[in-house]
């Protein structure tokens, strides 16, 4: 069985006095250990809903999710999430924000010095050792997101879930963090599922791009394997024939097969 298996999943939301709203309908998907898969699709197609289901933050209406041969029935330390908003606690330093999660997972099995070492290693992984004693208000947007990534990686999740983690950042900071994430994934080989609206980001980072149909009742409309050798260089990908072909395939899906009408006001 694949490391992550989603089997005939449906997610509906009740609406008072009306039929249930079906957000996802019949999603079946398998992701292998160590893969980096990206969910892409128009706004409102259920990408984040699917990520929340994988994370155990909400439960499917029908179907099931199996992660590492175990049913997903709720949140767990084996699955860590990073959101578009860094969600750091403003009264804690960078180090303390990361340590908070580390304590929740490892306090019963590791000493205080081991917890501290684990936290320091996570900050070093995202090149923030120098900022360990700073508070969130003293950090740039990119640095805050790096703390969020460190906090997720510090608990050594088997599955990393990223919900548009760089969406709120400027283009140059986003590119820098994408490159940093590629390096981290090369070092850790963590299985990753990411939601993005950025096509170039998807091609740069992914082993597979999972294209979702428009909602309601969204499904996986296409599954594109990105057969580009790693490590990847964004400058080379800008003109590489293979990358251009992948870009055309995703654009074809999003803007022809799943074109959305713009209604006049």
**pLDDT tens-digit series, residues 168-217:** 888 998 899 999 999 989 999 999 999 999 999 999 999 999 999 999 99
Which H helix or E strand runs over 11?
strand 4-15
* pLDDT tens figures, 204-236: 999 999 999 999 999 999 999 999 999 999 999
* pLDDT tens figures, 23-70: 999 999 999 999 999 999 999 999 999 999 999 999 999 999 999 999
Backbone angles phi, psi at 159, to 5 degrees: -135, 125
Q: Are strands 79-82 and 159-163 parallel, antiparallel or unpaired?
A: parallel
User: Is CATH 3.40.50.300 the right assignment for the domain spanning 1-78+191-265?
Assistant: yes
What is the CA 98 to chain-centroid distance, rounded? 18
What is the CA 186 to chain-centroid distance, rounded? 16
Give the C-alpha distances (Å, rounded to integers) separating 12 from 23, 25, 94, 223, 244.
6, 8, 38, 23, 37
User: What's the rounded Cα separation, in Å, for the pair 207 and 209?
Assistant: 7
| Contact of 148 with 94, CB cutoff 8 Å | no
Retrieve residue 108's tokens. Answer: 């019963």
Whether the link from the prior residue into 231 is cis, omega within 30° of 0, is yes
Output the pTM of the full model.
0.93
**Backbone dihedral region of 3: left (phi > 0), alpha (psi from -120 to 50 degrees) or beta?**
alpha
């Amino acid at each position: 069985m694949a490391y992550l298996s989603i089997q005939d999943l449906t997610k509906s939301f009740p609406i008072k006095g009306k039929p249930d709203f079906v957000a996802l309908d019949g999603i079946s998907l398998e992701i292998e250990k160590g893969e980096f898969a990206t969910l892409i699709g128009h706004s409102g197609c259920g990408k984040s809903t699917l990520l929340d289901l994988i994370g155990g933050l909400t439960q499917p209406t029908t179907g099931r999710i199996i992660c590492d041969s175990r049913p997903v029935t709720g949140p767990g330390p084996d699955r860590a999430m990073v959101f578009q908003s860094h969600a750091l606690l403003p009264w804690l330093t960078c180090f303390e924000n990361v340590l908070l999660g580390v304590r929740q997972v490892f306090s019963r099995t590791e000493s205080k010095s081991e917890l501290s070492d684990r936290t320091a290693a996570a900050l070093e992984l995202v090149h923030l050792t120098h900022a360990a004693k700073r508070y969130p208000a003293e950090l740039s947007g990119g640095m805050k997101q790096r703390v969020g990534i460190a906090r997720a990686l510090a608990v050594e999740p088997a599955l990393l879930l990223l919900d548009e983690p760089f969406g709120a950042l400027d283009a140059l900071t986003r590119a820098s963090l994408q490159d940093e994430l590629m390096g981290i994934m090369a070092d850790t080989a963590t299985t990753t599922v990411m939601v993005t609206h950025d096509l170039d980001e998807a091609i740069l980072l992914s082993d597979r791009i999972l294209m979702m149909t428009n909602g309601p009742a969204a499904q996986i409309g296409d599954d594109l394997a990105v057969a580009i050798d790693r490590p990847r260089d964004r400058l080379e990908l800008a003109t590489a024939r293979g990358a251009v072909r992948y870009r055309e395939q995703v654009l074809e899906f999003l803007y022809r097969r799943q074109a959305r009408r713009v209604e006049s006001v």
